[in-house]
Amino acid sequence: MSPTRLEQQIDFLREIDRLKSVERRTALIDRSRLENSAEHSWHLAMMAAVLGEHAPEGANPLHAIRMLLVHDIVEIDAGDTFAFDTAAHHDKPAREGAAADRLFALLPPDLETELRALWEEFEAGETPTAQFAVALDRFAGLLQNWGGADGGTWRRHSVTRDAVLQRMAPIRSGVPALWPFVTRVVEEATSHGFILAE
């Protein structure tokens, strides 16, 4: 007997609880422990709600919230790929694509299509809403590394100024109002030795 629509929805919701167990490399601002991917997604959704007035023209902050809640579900299978691990990024699309295939297929077909489309829109980063969402995703790492006043993962992994600025580049167009803050933080972090100048 095929599962009912409600049973499929509940199975999916049970499965995505596993996102709470996916540990990321970035610590909480208070440095008490590492963040998990579910907390990261929640924080980004709150950023979209709070910073929506700064979204670029054509972006829909409510749509961005939905996108941000879905964007890292694939990490249940694929794991979190550290932003500054260039080698791990080579197979990231394949790992995450396979995870998307499995996870979204747990849903009824219409929801599978809807939520997968949100994930794909984020990954493509082409719409104004996706650009806003991607910018917030990048900003979160900057906020956490700077907010703890010790450089966090930047310092621990000897990340360079150029690598941070390259990682933050989507913010320039995705949330232009944040860019002056980003450049100020990067310069301060570099001057304090939290980011390598070269």
109-128: pLDDT as tens digits: 999 999 999 999 999 999 99
Distance CA 46, CA 49 (A): 5
pLDDT exceeds 90 at position 89? no
52-62: pLDDT as tens digits: 999 999 999 99
Distance CA 31, CA 145 (A): 10
**CATH number reported for the structural domain that contains residue 96 in this entry:** 1.10.3210.10
Residues whose CB falls within 8 Å of the CB of residue 48, separated by 6 or more in sequence, listed in order = 55, 61, 64, 65, 68, 132, 133, 136
Q: How confident is the model at residue 97 (pLDDT cuts 50, 70, 90)?
A: very high
Domain count, the chain: 1
120-178: pLDDT as tens digits: 999 999 999 999 999 999 999 999 999 888 899 999 999 999 999 999 999 999 999 99
Instruction: Report the pLDDT value the prediction gives residue 27, as an integer from 0 to 100.
Output: 92
Residues whose CB falls within 8 Å of the CB of residue 1, separated by 6 or more in sequence, listed in order = none
What string of DSSP letters covers 148-174?
A: TTS-HHHHHTT-BHHHHHHHHTHHHHH
Domain of residue 67, residue span = 5-27+34-191
The reply to whether the predicted model has a pTM over 0.75 is yes
Q: Is residue 13 part of a domain?
A: yes
Q: Is residue 93 part of a domain?
A: yes
